[in-house]
Amino acid sequence: MNLIKSIAILIAGLGIISCSPKPKEAQRPNILFIMSDDHAYQAISAYSNELIQTPNIDRLAKEGAIFTRATVTNSICAPSRAVLLTGKHSFINGKVDNVMPFDWDQPNFPKLMQANGYQTAMIGKIHLDGIPQGFDFSMVLPGQGNYYNPDFLVEGQKVRKEGYVTDIITETTLDWLKNKRDPKKPFCVLYHHKAPHREWEPDERHFREFTKKTFREPANLFDDYEGRGTAAKAAEMNILKHQNWAGDSKLYPDVMNELGIKETSGWGINAFNNNTGRMNPEQKAAWDSVYMPINEDFKKRYPNMTEKELMSWRYQRYMQDYLGTIAAVDESVGQVLDYLDEAGLAENTIVVYTSDQGFYLGEHGWFDKRFMYEESFRTPLLIRYPKEIKPGTVIKELVQNLDFAPTFLDYAKIEAPKEMQGESFRNLVAGKTTQWRDAVLYTYYEYPSIHMVKRHYGVATQRYKLMHFYYDIDEWEMYDLETDPMEMKNIYNDSAYADVQEMLHKRLEELRTYYGDSDELNDKYLKAYLERTAGK
Ligand code: SGN
Ligand code: CA
């Protein structure tokens, strides 16, 4: 063999080695996406120390990044999840409210990851009908799911599991990571809690502790909605007026009878009976041992309570149960992070913690979400990825749930389809760029419906918001978050803000055009909604 020929063979051999697919797989990160349901950023100690300590969720902020202005495009459960999967606004992906069907046939990021060598799983609440597409394994709650001994759809088959929902979802996720994972492939797991969704039923280990606590009241718990428009006044989200006494505050129906209290809604007593009816005898006995004395105490105090005292009592009941369910979520996050450490997976795994939207914890006197006001428009977002994100990073830019799909595809080195509308924030969170959008678009559709939050859309910048409420009203609202962070005063008609108003109208129209929204689409979705809900 002459020298030239042997050098050629050697070079060809090196070429084969360097072309082997191995290094690419080794470099692609795993994704563990943790989403809870209705988890307010006010109830994460990395955001605020006032209500609860969440040391495990906080770890992600310490070891990675916290986003102080992460927002959703549409503050309600199923639509938010559709945006997460598709990377498209609600008016493009079609799932505008909890009522309209979701089209699983459209592209979503897990499908793309699966087709490009990732092993994918979906465990917990997804709230989108139909068999999830894009997952090698799925175990999801049907609809809203239950806290105690919940049913799951495992690959579409209904299975009842004994235990507490947060624990079961966590155990299943850990089992998948430990025993079902293909170590040759990177993974993408959507690990989605039901908690802390209504009707806020903690596990025994937490209700014993949390029912003893007293929480601070927000400054605007007794908001009278002066200074706002019709929409805030018409909403049915007030803790005193609109929570269910049995279903939410956990008054026993016979105690309500004795006191002459009528249930707020037609289904509150049913909710209570269904929820407690799912408990096994031990769970029920533990529940009664704590909630019966609370009922007894209330029975004594009720005859002399003022409206204000009643509101305070209901607020405390709400916080005790809501935060009790979060304590379990935080523990579960700790278990999963510990496992990543033990298995040597922490370094190469992107861990995200977020919620499908924010939530009112008594601000404006409210519970629930839906509005473009800050507490429900914003959502918690914390991300750890040691390879790219510096510990203690704080991101103030306006990212949205619209950006998740393109961001994860970017990390996985998969090209995002053109139809996806979000932007990858990979470089932003890595500190490689400071370039980011200056305004975001919001839309909300589910009306008339439970909680009666009117249809609206709007634009938000770092400092200002402009919203248009439509359908049975035609009202504009505008807020200056710098001078009015609690959004108590609509300044739409304030002449001092005339230039700001003009600028916001312009940005709003630009964004609606850019993303493909229009009054015609609003009409189309309104008509479809009214047809689907007629007679219901
Ligand atoms: C249920 C809740 C509402 C909640 C919707 C939507 N009531 O109807 O308070 O707004 O779900 O929630 S409940 O007492 O029946 O749970 S979402 O998270 O699915 O959007
Ligand atoms: Ca939700």
| Residue that wins the pLDDT comparison between 130 and 53 | 53
Task: Specify the pLDDT at position 163.
Answer: 98
Task: Specify the pLDDT at position 26.
Answer: 58
What are 153's strand-pairing partners?
140, 158
Q: Is 76 in the pocket of ligand 1 (CB under 6 A)?
A: yes
Q: Is 314 in the pocket of ligand 1 (CB under 6 A)?
A: no
- CB-CB neighbours of 85 under 10 Å: 27
Choose the weakest-confidence range: 367-371, 426-430, 525-529, 531-535. 531-535
E strand or H helix at 502:
helix 498-515
State how far Cα 510 lies from the chain centre. Answer: 27
pLDDT > 90? residue 31: yes
Q: Is 38 in the pocket of ligand 1 (CB under 6 A)?
A: yes
Average pLDDT value over all residues in the chain: 95
How close is the Cα of 143 to the center of ligand 1, in Å?
Answer: 10
Distance (Å, rounded) from C-alpha 30 to C-alpha 410? 12
What are 124's strand-pairing partners?
140, 192
pLDDT > 90? residue 29: yes
How close is the Cα of 407 to the center of ligand 1, in Å?
Answer: 29
| Continuous H helices in 157-197 | 165-175
Distance (Å, rounded) from C-alpha 467 to C-alpha 459? 7
Token pair of 470 as six digits: 């439509």
How close is the Cα of 402 to the center of ligand 1, in Å?
Answer: 22
Per-residue pLDDT tens for 453-472?
999 999 999 999 999 999 99
Task: Specify the pLDDT at position 536.
Answer: 78
Distance (Å, rounded) from C-alpha 368 to C-alpha 100? 20
Mutate to test the pocket of ligand 1, among 450, 452, 453, 533 (most ligand atoms within 8 A of CB): 450
Per-residue pLDDT tens for 350-387?
999 999 999 999 999 999 999 999 999 999 999 999 99
DSSP three-state, residue 504: helix
pLDDT > 60? residue 197: yes
Per-residue pLDDT tens for 391-402?
999 999 999 999
pLDDT > 50? residue 130: yes
In this structure, which amino acid lies at residue 90?
S
- CB-CB neighbours of 385 under 10 Å: 24
Q: Is 368 in the pocket of ligand 1 (CB under 6 A)?
A: yes
What number is the average pLDDT over the span 486-514? 98
Token pair of 296 as six digits: 């007894």
Ligand showing the shortest atom-to-Cα distance for residue 98:
1
Q: Is 37 in the pocket of ligand 1 (CB under 6 A)?
A: yes
Ligand showing the shortest atom-to-Cα distance for residue 264:
1
Half-sphere exposure in the Cβ direction for 240 (13 Å, CA):
16
Q: Who surrounds ion ligand 2 at CB < 5 A?
A: 37-38, 77, 356
Mutate to test the pocket of ligand 1, among 38, 97, 129, 144 (most ligand atoms within 8 A of CB): 144
How close is the Cα of 304 to the center of ligand 2, in Å?
Answer: 36
Atom index in ligand 1 nearest the CA of residue 356 equals: 18
Angle at Cα 307 formed by Cα 304 and Cα 308, nearest 5°?
105
Q: Whose CA is nearest to atom 1 of ligand 1?
A: 198
Q: What are phi and psi of 158, to 5 degrees?
A: -75, 130
How close is the Cα of 197 to the center of ligand 1, in Å?
Answer: 7
DSSP-derived secondary structure letter, 217: P
Per-residue pLDDT tens for 150-183?
999 998 899 999 999 999 999 999 999 999 999 9
Q: What percent of the chain has pLDDT over 70?
A: 95
Q: Is 77 in the pocket of ligand 1 (CB under 6 A)?
A: yes
| Residue that wins the pLDDT comparison between 91 and 1 | 91
Per-residue pLDDT tens for 236-293?
999 999 999 999 999 999 999 999 999 999 999 999 999 999 999 999 999 999 999 9
pTM: 0.95
How close is the Cα of 78 to the center of ligand 2, in Å?
Answer: 8
Q: Whose CA is nearest to atom 15 of ligand 1?
A: 198
Task: Specify the pLDDT at position 25.
Answer: 58
Tokens 């298995």, residue located: 343
| Continuous H helices in 28-164 | 55-63, 77-86, 90-93, 109-115
DSSP three-state, residue 283: helix
Token pair of 417 as six digits: 């389809």
Distance (Å, rounded) from C-alpha 91 to C-alpha 322? 31
Spatial CA neighbour of 120 closest among 148, 139, 141, 142 = 139
Task: Specify the pLDDT at position 156.
Answer: 81
- CB-CB neighbours of 421 under 10 Å: 23
Half-sphere exposure in the Cβ direction for 109 (13 Å, CA):
35
Task: Specify the pLDDT at position 21.
Answer: 46
Confidence of residue 15 (pLDDT cuts 50, 70, 90): very low
Task: Specify the pLDDT at position 535.
Answer: 81
Distance (Å, rounded) from C-alpha 120 to C-alpha 135? 5
Mutate to test the pocket of ligand 1, among 95, 99, 197, 263 (most ligand atoms within 8 A of CB): 197
What are 382's strand-pairing partners?
66, 353
Task: Specify the pLDDT at position 27.
Answer: 82
In this structure, which amino acid lies at residue 128?
L
Q: Whose CA is nearest to atom 16 of ligand 1?
A: 198
The C-alpha torsion from 335 through 210 and 50 to 48, rounded to 10°, is 20
pLDDT > 70? residue 12: no
Distance (Å, rounded) from C-alpha 245 to C-alpha 243? 6
C-alpha distances in angstroms, 152 versus 92, 169, 176?
A: 29, 10, 16
Distance (Å, rounded) from C-alpha 468 to C-alpha 485? 19
What are 33's strand-pairing partners?
190, 352
